[in-house]
Structure 1
Amino acid sequence: MKDNVFVFDSPYTLLLYCVLYPDNIFNTIYVHSNNNALNRLDFDSKRHIVINKGRGKLEKILLYVFFKLRTIFNKELRYIVRHPKEFNFYGQDHLFFSAPFVHDFVLIEDGLANYKIPKYSKLYTFFLGAKTFGRSGKVKQILLSGMMKIKEPEILNKVQYFDLLVKWNSLTPEQKNNVNNFFRFTNTDEIEADVVILTQPLSEYGFITESEKIDIYQKLISEYDGHNVVIRRHPREMTCYPDYFPNVKVNDSKVPIELILLNSPSIRRGVTLFSSGIFNLPCQYKDFKGTSYHPLLLQKFGEINP
């Protein structure tokens, strides 16, 4: 039986892999970046290889060269790269370390980028080419949740859609437990509410003041009066929402919101101003307000619609 190799940089894509392939969680070699969001995952009893990624342009180039050298001198990486027929490959194909693993590759959704025609910088094209997001002939299948419909002929015949909630509900209790343990999900992470609001770091990035942001969210929350509402605060936000909305619960869990919602069946509606993260949510209703929701948002960001 072949081992799987899963190449990723995103907790969301990892969650999809675990739900779509629950029986392969423990026979997979996880090749991933040193993304801080992945630090708290439970890799005990799992094989994984960490690839360092840089911030600035020069650092990224140097670490790309270092990675290429690792595929030569690192015993495990060298074996995988030189014996691709002994493995099944899954994950994201657009990362700087993806290329050596793209063989009969099954691409798994990363987000809205999978639904758009990619734009490449000259530097990206020079090092990595311009055949990512499933456009390479070495990608045999593209698994998407259906945030949007794919119309591009180049990849259309590779696309297969899935329903994350349906897949989750088909798992056995043991399989669900394996996924939850991987992400260190506990009962304290579960949300008891029927509406979740995804906030955004609008004041932290200097687009508007905190008081302006609070006024906008006050208006938003009031629209769901009579509902049990919880705020899912963005990881980069500093705003202490309980100071402003003492009767609204705030969820600051480090567990991906998609997994929390899978374990919180009472939540049926996700709400956001204009965060693309709402399209990932496994809930029945999704309210994307857009920047036209408030004149200040329209002034600062232009028109953003669902």
Structure 2
Amino acid sequence: MYKYLCYSETLYAFLQYLLINKMDIENTLFIFSESMDKLIGENFKCNKIILKKKKGTFFQKKKIEYQNYKKLNSILSNSKEIKVYLQDHLPEAEYFLEKFNCYLLEDGTDSYNLKKINRNQKEYRRKKYKIRLLRKLLGGALRRYPKYGFSNKVIGIYMNGFFEIPNELKKKVIKLDIKKLFNSLTNEEKEKLFNIFSLKLDILNKIENKILLLTQPLSEDGVMIENEKIGLYKDVQKKFKGNFVIKSHPREQTDYQKYFPDVYILPQNFPAELFLFIDAKLSEVVTIFSTAALNLKRNYKVSFLGTKDYPKLLERFGVIEDK
């Protein structure tokens, strides 16, 4: 029987879990989507359940949903003493919230985005009394649960405190310090962590004295079209004097080498926060509003541009700025 369960869809949340539980992979059941499993790759050997993405017609989606719940129930139907860490906005998060008390992993700016949180709260209040008998028959959760830590089934929330924390959540917050957690690992555990993300230290020579640009999935999330995103980052590049390297977000599909042929493009399959743990001599870190940059402030000069000067970002996300 497993002691822990981790349901994550971002490399940053996955990294948090590995650090919080000191690399206790053997006693953990990992829940990944197909895309997340592909991103992590074959270097990570673990106990895992891969959930299929729901697509197609209504009935095809329900069939996939049933298959996902069947996988989960085959292992977890009688589990009671298991500590669950998750991101509670993910497709099957309610399954775990209905069965267990859970710990929430930080999810970048979304964990602090009051505009998005308030929108979700309104949606929850509108639908919370709708009983979903079909989902229950398929093996899922009967009830609805609010997201971003507001459910009473979320008993602890890991947060850095980069931005203002909603008052209703403050009593649940567990201070997250990934550098401190990393330093508490043994040398063997640290090496194991780097191997999971296939981080090769030979990249240090390629990024020395360069400006690290952290991009975000703005076109993939429908905030703007691809050409607008490229134009935005070209404008950012012009504002800073120096040679750039680009670390794209894992969900991005953009071929940055096509648009920035003279720039070294870092691999996607590791979280930018790993730069905290290696002796990377970056001259500066630049981003619009990636929280990875705020983690890196401990080691590097960071230019966090925020959303104020970008109308489409301001409309979608509200004001996000470094405090």
What TM-score do you get using the length of structure 2 for normalisation? 0.73
CA distance in 2, matches of 1:209, 1:90: 34
Matched with 2:69 is: 68
CA distance in 1, matches of 2:154, 2:313: 39
Matched with 2:277 is: 262
* Alpha-carbon distance, 1:287 to partner: 1.9
C-alpha distance after superposition, 1:57-112 (max 9, x if no partner): 8354443333333444x3xx2xx232212x22222233232234332322111222
Q: Secondary structure at the match of 1:5?
A: strand
Q: Secondary structure at the match of 2:265?
A: strand
Q: Secondary structure at the match of 1:24?
A: coil
One-letter identity of the residue aligned with 1:106: Y
Q: Secondary structure at the match of 2:77?
A: helix
CA distance in 1, matches of 2:35, 2:167: 31
* Alpha-carbon distance, 1:15 to partner: 0.8
Matched with 1:84 is: 80
Matched with 1:161 is: 175
Q: Which of 279, 288, 299 is the equivalent residue of 2:304? A: 288
C-alpha distance after superposition, 1:131-188 (max 9, x if no partner): 23222222221111222131322x2211012222232233332111111112222224
Matched with 2:102 is: 105
Residue 27 to residue 130, structure 1, CA distance change in 2 (3 Å): closer
Residue 237 to residue 46, structure 1, CA distance change in 2 (3 Å): same
Which residues of 2 match residues 228-247 of structure 1 at below 5 A?
229-234=244-249, 235-239=252-256, 240-243=258-261, 246=262
CA distance in 2, matches of 1:101, 1:208: 35
Residue 12 to residue 56, structure 1, CA distance change in 2 (3 Å): farther
Percent identity at matched positions? 25
Is 1:94 the counterpart of 2:110 in the alignment? no
Larger mean Cα displacement after TM superposition, 90-99 or 51-60: 51-60
Matched with 2:213 is: 197
Matched with 2:139 is: none
Q: Secondary structure at the match of 1:254?
A: coil
Q: Secondary structure at the match of 1:160?
A: strand
One-letter identity of the residue aligned with 1:90: Y
Is 1:114 the counterpart of 2:111 in the alignment? yes
CA distance in 2, matches of 1:166, 1:81: 36
* Alpha-carbon distance, 1:13 to partner: 0.6
CA distance in 2, matches of 1:203, 1:51: 25
One-letter identity of the residue aligned with 1:41: G
Q: Secondary structure at the match of 1:179?
A: helix
Q: Does the Cα contact within 8 Å between 1:197 and 1:229 map onto a contact in 2?
A: yes
Matched with 2:163 is: 148
CA distance in 2, matches of 1:218, 1:68: 44
* Alpha-carbon distance, 1:43 to partner: 6.1
* Alpha-carbon distance, 1:197 to partner: 1.0
Q: Which of 153, 168, 182 is the equivalent residue of 2:196? A: 182
Residue 33 to residue 209, structure 1, CA distance change in 2 (3 Å): closer
* Alpha-carbon distance, 1:6 to partner: 1.2
What TM-score do you get using the length of structure 1 for normalisation? 0.76
Q: Does the Cα contact within 8 Å between 1:147 and 1:279 map onto a contact in 2?
A: no
Q: Does the Cα contact within 8 Å between 2:244 and 2:264 map onto a contact in 1?
A: yes
Q: Which runs of 5+ in 2 are unaligned?
A: 133-142
* Alpha-carbon distance, 1:260 to partner: 4.3
Q: Does the Cα contact within 8 Å between 1:262 and 1:282 map onto a contact in 2?
A: no
